[in-house]
Structure 1
Amino acid sequence: MPVRLSAIGVLISIASVAVAIPTQAQTTNPISGHWRTADGAAVVEIKPCAQTLCGRLVWVREGADARDERNPDRSRRSAPICGLNVFSGFRSDEGGRWTGGSIYDPEAGRAISGVSLGARGDALTLTVGRGVFAGSETWRRAPAPSRPCQAR
């Protein structure tokens, strides 16, 4: 009988490892990478920054000469948006989403807070607000641009 219990113990151990491997893979950050915005006008690279996520524009349809013309700080309006940090402060919550950060929208010239991020496969969903006041947008995973912006 001890041999049989040992065999069962080995099978349970193997099954535990098989279950743990996908779980570990899922706990890695699925949001890191390059994402094309819903309108296709930009690619944002999202990556870990200490305990948070941050992101910067690495490609914009308008080209490297596009400027942050709507920035509320007049002194920054001549700065290029290519390479601009647009995501900051997102922290992982227990539900697998990233919350608490903000996104700077150069088209509107303002930062948007109250955004949560969730990735599933090749889709990244950005949600702002809750309930009937919520809105969302889906971005798609993209390859690294062949002609990225210069890092700032």
Structure 2
Amino acid sequence: MIARFVLGLGLAIALAAGPALADDVNGVWLRESGASKVKFAPCGGAVCGTLVWIKEGTDTPAKVGQRLFDRMKSTGPNAWAGSYNNPDDGKTYDATMTLSGGTLTTSGCAFGGMICRSSTWSRAN
């Protein structure tokens, strides 16, 4: 009887912690173009992404240390939504991220989702 209670309690705790069992997005990610790396880390109950490296010779107004992804909050297993600060035009866009294994896909949208652009990232070593 006690063993069933403990097993049931353990199962209930595991199910309640579902989103916490999602793949970990924290760490450094390399953009598909190979031109930049962003480090995702916890920030105030969400996840934020900060530019940590730009490939030499890359023409961009972005600066190392600039926060690109802001207040990315979990929307389900391996999915987040927040905002993207675009250094190219200085504007902020709605953004989403999805993680599948070692691939992170980010998407920023304008005009209520009518125009979107996405990028694929891989874990940097």
- Deviation at residue 13 of structure 1 after TM alignment: 3.9
For 2:21, the aligned partner's letter is Q
Runs of 4+ residues over 6 Å off in structure 1: none
| TM value normalised by structure 1 | 0.60
> Which residue, 25, 39, 46 being the options, matches 1:31?
25
What aligned pairs does 1:8-87 form with structure 2 within 5 A after superposition? 9=4, 12-13=7-8, 16=11, 20=14, 23=18, 26-27=21-22, 30-62=24-56, 70=61, 81-87=63-69
**8 Å CA contact retained: 2:19, 2:77:** no
| TM value normalised by structure 2 | 0.70
> Unmatched 5+ residue regions in structure 2?
none
Larger radius of gyration: 1
> Which residue, 105, 108, 123 being the options, matches 2:103?
123
- CA, structure 1 residues 7+53, in 2 after alignment: closer, same or farther (shift >3 Å)? closer
**Alpha-carbon RMSD:** 3.5
> Which residue, 75, 86, 96 being the options, matches 1:104?
86
- CA, structure 1 residues 59+137, in 2 after alignment: closer, same or farther (shift >3 Å)? same
**8 Å CA contact retained: 1:41, 1:60:** yes
**8 Å CA contact retained: 1:87, 1:101:** yes
Aligned identity (percent) is 25
What aligned pairs does 1:133-152 form with structure 2 within 5 A after superposition? 133-143=115-125
> Unmatched 5+ residue regions in structure 1?
1-5, 72-80, 144-152
- CA, structure 1 residues 52+20, in 2 after alignment: closer, same or farther (shift >3 Å)? closer
